Amino acid sequence: MISTAERLLGWRPQISLRKGLEATIAYFALEVAGRGGPSHPDKRPPASRRTGRAQLALARSQ
């Protein structure tokens, strides 16, 4: 796959797949932990809170 990209595009990766994946995983781990902060924060409550209220209302009506 890399040889095809190099031949067709003249592109070669700058870092190994392993190091790239390690950096990507570390980045998203920080995002999930909330320390990195998303680029475009969602102003709505988490889905679990939004759907939780609807489920509670539905359960009470039954």
Enter the pTM of the model. 0.44
Q: How far apart are CA 29 and CA 35, in angstroms?
A: 9
N residues, the chain: 62
Contact by Cβ (8 Å): 2, 13: yes
pLDDT above 60: residue 48 = no
Cβ neighbours of residue 30 closer than 8 Å, sequence gap 6 or more = 36
Measure the CA–CA gap between 20 and 3, rounded to whole angstroms: 18
Number of domains in the chain: 1
Q: What are the pLDDT digits (tens) for 11-33? A: 889 999 999 999 999 999 998 88
Show the domain range for 46: 2-61
Name the band, by pLDDT with cuts 50, 70 and 90, for residue 8. Answer: very high
Which pair of structure tokens corresponds to residue 59? 């359960």
